[in-house]
Amino acid sequence: MQSIKTLNNTCVREFIFLGLATNPELRLLLFAVFLAVYGATMLGNLLIVGLVAFVPILHTPMYFLLGNLSFLDFCYSSVTAPKMLVGFLSRANTITYAGCISQIFFFHFIGGIKIFLLVIMAYDRYVAIFHPLRYMAIMNGTVCSGLVWASWAGGFVHSIIQVIIITQLPFCGPNKLDNFYCDVPQVVKLACTNTFVVELLMVSNSGLVTLMCFVLLLVSYSILLAKLRAGSAPGQSKAVSTCASHITVVTLIFGPCVYIYVRPFHSFPADKAVSVLYTVITPILNPFIYTLRNKDFKTALGKLKRRKQKLTL
């Protein structure tokens, strides 16, 4: 193992990913499967971003926020998937110490933005359902942009705290990560010092905040659905469908988050499966959840197809 001394007594120069499989044939199969999933994730999310940007009927606050979520899913998947795909084809699946820290930063930076953005989307639905006549005035372009920028600032603060804490830890071996990407729980366990206080800080920063946001969102959407079921809001069927899509996405994103971060940093048999769900599967599901249930997106896709046909004639 190559090593180098640094200021915080870290002598680990690189980490080794144990990955998802050791059998060569299984690794090739997983490479093909995850390459297809990653490609579909890129295309699906970029399609939503393009539709929201260029189709006028989608120029509303809700779709503006949804376009931002799709852009984040595009970026989020790109933090881990390319390295995972390369690892399936490499004999030595390694990442440098600096690369590992960078991956943790962007992983939590984008993940933090997504969490705050989902809270904003819940607020957007609250305004649309409880104040329909004032909706466009309240959720105007300035407010939407400000809320999105605030979510980016929140994600940065959340992530930089994680990175600062981790870079203070000494790593002097071992250097094997039982996963396919760098994340706080696996990396902290490799530190050659007592990490009890660090784990408490990490659980407080990631786990408790995530859990509180999850509970807040579930309560908020429950109230919204109760309001809609009472039949006191216009466009009831469409609003129920939209809220159901939001609840599905919230559960898919927050469920694995709560499992990973709201507990001590110990390994469990389901950890890798949850990691795959969280980093690879969820970003591809979001475009289908929104587009397959949404009439506006279907209309926008139809217009896009007709425009393409005219250009080819």
At residue 311, the pLDDT reads 62
Residue 42 lies in a domain: yes
Does residue 173 fall inside a structural domain?
yes
The pLDDT tens digits of the residues spanning 231-252 come to 655 557 777 777 888 888 888 8
Specify whether the CB–CB gap between 265 and 239 falls below 8 A.
Answer: no
Q: What's the pTM?
A: 0.89
List the CATH number of the domain containing 253.
Answer: 1.20.1070.10
| 178: nearest Cα among 254, 252, 270, 261 | 270
Quick count: other Cβ atoms within 10 Å of Cβ 149? 10
Q: Which domain holds residue 209?
A: 14-312
Q: How many domains does the chain have?
A: 1
Q: What is the four-CA torsion angle of 197, 201, 206, 210, rounded to 10 degrees?
A: 100
Which residue in 160, 35, 181, 167 sits closest to 103, CA to CA? 181
Residue 8 lies in a domain: no
Is position 295 within any domain? yes
In a domain, 6, yes or no: no
Phi and psi dihedrals of 106, rounded to 5? Answer: -70, -35
Tens digit of pLDDT at every position of the chain (313 positions) = 344 344 456 677 899 998 888 898 999 999 999 999 999 999 999 999 998 998 888 899 999 999 999 999 999 999 999 999 999 998 889 999 999 999 999 999 999 999 999 999 999 989 988 888 899 999 999 999 999 999 999 999 999 999 999 999 998 878 899 889 999 988 998 998 888 888 888 888 788 888 888 999 989 888 888 887 776 555 577 777 778 888 888 888 898 888 888 877 777 778 888 999 889 989 988 888 877 667 888 888 877 777 766 666 5
